[in-house]
Structure 1
Amino acid sequence: MSSNGPSAPRFRRPAPLYTSVAETIPGEPDPAASADLAHDSARALLDGVFHSSDPEVVERVVALAAQDGLTDLSALWSGAPASTLPGALWRLYVLHTWVQQVGDEVVLRYRAGSRTVPGLRYLSGFAEPPDVQQVQRTMDDILRGAFTGDLGLALRRAGAVATIIAHGTAHLADEDRGDARTRQAERLLRTGEELSAAGRYAEAGQLD
């Protein structure tokens, strides 16, 4: 279910991408060049935000997926391996967007999962027990941190979030024998593992 009413996040349409990013995206990317384009665009976006002194730039990038800002990059980033910068950023954006859209469901699953893997609560940074606004705000902070602070830590925090939610999803699936939730739990756990591994790569200077 989607979160509506007062708890729903309010996005405003992001400004256009950096020219340096947009110029790397042709109208019809050549499949043979897609990997290079994915890496170049991800690095341009990351470096552009990191070296910007304008806080509005950061907020535009945090809200990039809210409207159509990420559409131009999705065809490139979504196919990149999780052990690469574009692949890691893509998974981070997908998790962030999902949490913003279904915050109430995420809270339910997080609370169930945090009892199974309590050690990850501190890394995720969520309040205990979190509410929808706290969950969405924390994911904003994680995404913001990926571009302005410690990319490795941000990816590991996102991995912890996905892993906790995966365990909660599996627990709820066991309660109602939901095959759909079981499959979701598997995907979330895989995403959590991929983000955590990408975070370790980043900290070792090996995420590119």
Structure 2
Amino acid sequence: MSEPARHHRPIVAADLERLVEGSVEGEPSARMELAHATAAALVSVGRNTAGDDEPTDRLVRLADTVGLDTLAELWRGAPPDSLPGALWALYLLRTWCTENGSEVARLYRTGRSLAPVDEVVAGVRDDADPNAIAAVADDVLNGLYQGELDVALERGAAFFRVVAAGREFLATDGPDGDAERHRAGRNRACADGLGRAADAWRDGTLP
């Protein structure tokens, strides 16, 4: 199991940065092809080394290593129900939960009673404190690489829906509340894309 991890290690750091630098001025079709190729390569690496914690941990912390901006350049423009689009949503979720854990925890705790089914699927510990929020974001990415990929996508989707419910409930009247409702809509759009991606993975049609 150690040989694949050593062979693929450059792909999750320097090579991703190099690919992004070469793609910035590229044609949209070429950039989309690169998005799909890199997403498929990462998932393949992760699933081929399942059971080996070291390479999986590197993949989970990929945004910490190469920077979220690098992943955005690669994947943000992909359809939300595609593999690169789903990866972008999950890495964005992890970064958000890690860097803004208190705020995400507040939204999640508010929304959990408003979306009880999604709250169960998301699987956040009962206290739903910032540590629990960060842990579930790591668990979702771990599941992407070491568990059932569709289940990981569904957990991510459920998490976004609970947060969206919390945002909507807490939104006040006026411009600030309108901004929060807009963010809730974006959270739901992420959830819908991840849900469609999970269905496509089960059907063998995930692009």
Interval containing the TM-score (normalised by the shorter chain)? 0.7 to 0.9
Is 1:85 matched up with 2:83? yes
Checking the alignment, whether the CA contact within 8 Å between 2:114 and 2:165 is kept in structure 1 is yes
Per the normalisation by structure 2, the TM-score is 0.84
2:45 counterpart residue number: 48
Structure 2: tracts of 5 or more residues without a match? 1-8
Deviation at 1:26, TM superposition (A): 6.3
> Match of 2:91, as an amino acid?
Y
Which segment drifts farther, 20-29 or 150-159? 20-29
Q: Which of the residues 8, 14, 17 maps onto 2:11?
A: 17
For 1:17, the aligned partner's letter is I
Residues 25 and 72 of structure 1 are in contact (CA less than 8 Å); yes or no, is this contact kept in structure 2?
Answer: no
Structure 2 match to 1:157: 155
Fraction of identical pairs, as percent: 34
Contact 1:21 1:41 in 2 (8 A): no
Cα-to-partner distance string for 1:3-31 (whole Å, 9 max, x where unaligned)? xxxxxxxxxxxx74348964992643222
Provide the rounded CA distance (Å) in 1 between the counterparts of 2:110 and 2:13.
Answer: 44
Cα gap change, 1:199 to 1:147, in 2 (>3 Å): same
- CA gap 1:198/1:40 in 2 versus in 1, 3 angstroms: same
Give the number of the structure whose residues are more often helix, by fraction. Answer: 2
Answer with 64-73 or 191-200: which moved more.
Answer: 64-73
Task: Give yes or no for the alignment of 1:188 onto 2:182.
Answer: no
- Deviation per CA, 1:96-151: give whole Å up to 9, x if none: 11111111111111111111111111100012241111111111011111011111
Distance 2:206 2:156 in 1: 16
SS of alignment partner, residue 56 of structure 2: helix
TM-score calculated relative to the size of structure 1? 0.84
2: CA distance, partners of 1:91 / 1:186 = 14
When the two chains are superposed, the root-mean-square deviation of aligned CA atoms in Å is 2.4
Q: Distance in 2 between matches of 1:131 and 1:19?
A: 31
Q: Paired residue for 2:197? A: 198
1:158 is paired with a residue of what secondary structure? helix
Contact 1:159/1:193 (CA < 8 Å) preserved in 2?
Answer: yes
Matches within 5 A, 1:1-208: 16-18=10-12, 22=16, 25=19, 27-29=21-23, 30-31=26-27, 32-52=29-49, 54-174=52-172, 178-208=177-207
Measured after TM superposition, the shift of residue 74 of structure 1 is 2.5
Q: What is the alpha-carbon distance in structure 1 between the residues aligned to residue 166 and residue 17 of structure 2?
A: 42
Deviation (angstroms), 1:93? 0.8
Judge conservation of contact 1:170–1:182 (CA < 8 Å) in 2.
Answer: yes
Report the 3-state secondary structure (helix = DSSP H, G, I; strand = E; otherwise coil) of the residue aligned with 1:25. Answer: helix
Structure 1 residues 17 and 109: CA distance shift in structure 2, 3 A? same
Q: Taking structure 1 as reference, are residues 37 and 108 closer, same or farther at Cα in structure 2, changes over 3 Å only?
A: same
* C-alpha separation in 2, matches of 1:26 and 1:185: 30
